[in-house]
Amino acid sequence: MTQTLEPEVATSTASPQDRAQRWLARFEAALAARDVAAATGLFATDSFWRDLVSFTWNIKTVEGREQIADMLGSRLADTDPSGFATSEPATEDGGVVSAFIEFETATGRGCGHLRLRADADTGEDQAWTLLTSLQELKGHEESQGFDRPRGAVHGSDPDTRSWAEKKADEDASLGRTRQPFVLVVGGGQGGIALGARLRQLGVPAIVIDRHERPGDQWRKRYKSLCLHDPVWYDHLPYLPFPPNWPVFAPKDKIGDWLEFYTKVMEVPYWSKTTCLSANYDEVAGAWTVEVDRDGERLTLYPQQLVLATGMSGKANVPDFPGQDVFAGDQHHSSRHPGPDGYVGKKVVVIGANNSAHDICKALVDNGIDTTMVQRSSTHIVKSDSLMEIGLGALYSEQAVADGMTTKKADLTFASLPYRIMHEFQIPLYDQIRERDKDFYDRLEAAGFDLDFGDDDSGLFMKYLRRGSGYYIDVGACELVADGTIKLAHGDVDHLTENSVVLADGTELPADVVVYATGYGSMNGWAADLMGQEVADRVGKVWGLGSDTTKDPGPWEGEQRNMWKPTQQPGLWFHGGNLHQSRHYSLYLALQLKARLEGIPTPVYGLQEVHHLR
C-alpha cells in the first residue's frame, strides 16, 4: 500500500482509512529522518505507546510525550523502523479511529494497533494509543504456510533414518550430548505453549515437570474443576480447539488436550522430572541446573532459564495455632482431592474466592456439610454476564462470526494501556451490576461481603493487579445465597482437635479443613531453587503497581517481571491463564531466539525492583 503526505484532507471529511494512512505516513517520515521531536509531536499529550519487544527488547509502556521521546531517543537508530501501513481498512467509533497496522524493523517484522483522536484545537489527528509488537525475526522465520517443511524426501537421501528414528535420536541426545539453550521449569499450559514456540523457532529447549504426564497439572485437581474462561479465549498457539470443543472445558479434557498438544507439536518434554537447584555463572553466562529425572540425577547447562510455574507462586498455607492438635484432615486447595472421601464429615473451607467456591459447591452437591469462611470481601461476576458483556466483543462465537480472529482479539486487548484500562472496565461492570442486581441483592442478604475492586473496575483489573479476590460464578453463589453452603466471617484464631475457632469466638465443628488461601509471588520458586539473594534481585512477580489492595505502588505499567528480562541475567518468568500463555509465549520465544542467534538485544526500561515479595 502506497502512502503519501499529499494531498492533505481535512480530518472532518476524510475517511477513517485516509486518516490512519496519513498519520502513519507522517510518523514514518519523522522516524526515517530521526526527528524525535516531530514523531513525538504526532502523539496526544495524554498518550500511550505499548511495545512488545519490537522497539525496546522488552515489554514496556511509555506514557506521554516525554517518555515517548526518551524511548525513541534511545532506540530509534537501532530499531530503524519502516513500512508502516494498515493491514485492513481502519474504522471509526465515537470519534476514535482504530487501525490494525504492520511494519518492519532492522531485525524483524511486526504488527500492532493504532487509535487516533482529533486535537480539539487544531483538528489534526494525534495518536492516543499505539501498540507495536514483534512477530518474527528476519532470517529466522518459522517454517509455516508456503515455507512449511516438506516432510517426505523425494529422491535419494544419505540419511536413511525415518522421522521416528530421527526424533528418538534427538530426544536421546538432548540434555546429554547436546545441551538445551533454554530450560523451562514447569510443564503446564505456559511451559507447553512456550515449548511449542521454541520448537518452531529452532531453539534447543527442554520443558521439565514433576508430574507423570503432560496435563496432570489439571487432571490431579479436584474432580469438579472446569475452565471458567470460554473456549474462544483459551486457544493454544498453532492448534486451536476444534469447533465442537465445549465452551467451558472440564479439567480432564484439558489435561488430555495438553498431552496431545505436547506430542503433536513435538515439544521436548521431560515428565517425572524435578528441578533441584540452579546456579548462574556470571562469567560463562550459563546456568548449572541439577534435576532428578525419574530417579536419575542429571546436570544441565542452559544459558536461559524460564520459570513457567503459572502466574502464582508457592501455595500460601497459613500458620494457625492448633494446627498440630487438629485431629482431622487439613490441606491446601491445590491438594484437594474432591468430595468423594468426605461424605458424612463436616468440612470448613477457609477462603471465599474461585477455588473455595468450586470446592464448596462440589462438597454440598455430594451432601456434605460445608462452611465457607470469608475473611475479606470478594468480587463476584456471573459467568454468563462476563461472557456477554466482558468478553463477547472479542472472544465469542458471535465475534468469530463477525470476523474477529484470535490474533486480532489478542492485539485489541493488548492495545489498551493498563493505565487507562480500568476506565474501559468500569462501565462494563456498572452494566453487569444493573443486569444482575437481584443476584447481588440475594448474596448480600445472605451476609456475603461483595466488592467490585478498589475502583469498581471488576474482575480483569483484580486479576491483573493481584491475581486473586474474585469468583466467576458457575453456580456456587446460589448455594451461598440459599444457605446450602454455610457462610461464616472473620479471621481464624486457632484450631482445636475438632473445630475451627474464629477471632470473634465462633466455633465451627470440623473434620476437614481446606485452606483455599491462595498463592505467593512466583519469585518464591526462585528462592527455593536459586536462593533468596536471586529472588530478591528479581523482586515481586505479577501486579502493575496500581497502589490498590495487594498491588503496592509505584506505578510500573506492565506485569512485574513477566515474559521479559529481569534483573537476574538469564532468568525469565512465564505463565498466566491460557490466553496469556498463548499470546505472551510468542514475545518470550522471540527474545530467547534472538539471544540464541547472537542478535543484539539492548533492553530499554529494564524492570526496577520496588518490592521483594
CB 501 within 8 A of CB 492: yes
The pLDDT tens digits for 328-339 are 999 999 899 989
**pLDDT > 70 in the chain, percent:** 98
pLDDT at 12 (0 to 100): 63
Number of H helices, E strands in the chain: 18, 25
145-158 residues labelled b (16+ CB within 10 A) or e (exposed): eeeeeeeeeeeeee
pLDDT at 2 over 50: no
pLDDT at 313 (0 to 100): 60
Cβ neighbors of 239 (< 8 A, separation 6 or more) are 261, 264, 265
Per-residue pLDDT band at 311 (split at 50, 70, 90): low
As a whole number, the mean pLDDT across the chain is 94
pLDDT at 310 over 90: no
Q: Tell me how many degrees the CA angle 579-404-401 measures, rounded to the nearest 5.
A: 120
Q: Nearest to residue 515, comparing CAs of 373, 612, 408, 304? A: 373
Cβ neighbors of 84 (< 8 A, separation 6 or more) are 3, 24, 25, 27, 28, 101, 102, 103
The pLDDT tens digits for 466-479 are 999 999 999 999 99
Q: Nearest to residue 245, comparing CAs of 233, 310, 355? A: 233
Q: What is the pTM of this model?
A: 0.94
Average pLDDT over residues 4-20: 69
The pLDDT tens digits for 238-247 are 999 999 999 9
pLDDT at 9 (0 to 100): 45
The pLDDT tens digits for 96-126 are 999 999 999 999 999 999 999 999 999 999 9
pLDDT at 574 (0 to 100): 96
**Most confidently predicted of 161-175, 223-237, 496-510:** 496-510
Domains delineated in the chain: 14-135 (3.10.450.50), 167-311+521-541+566-595 (3.50.50.60), 315-517 (3.50.50.60)
Instruction: Quote the CA–CA distance of 137 and 135 in Å, as a whole number.
Output: 7
Catalogue the E-assigned strands of 403-498.
470-473, 486-489, 492-495
pLDDT at 8 over 60: no
- How is residue 315 annotated by DSSP? B
CB 175 within 8 A of CB 273: no
pLDDT at 225 (0 to 100): 82
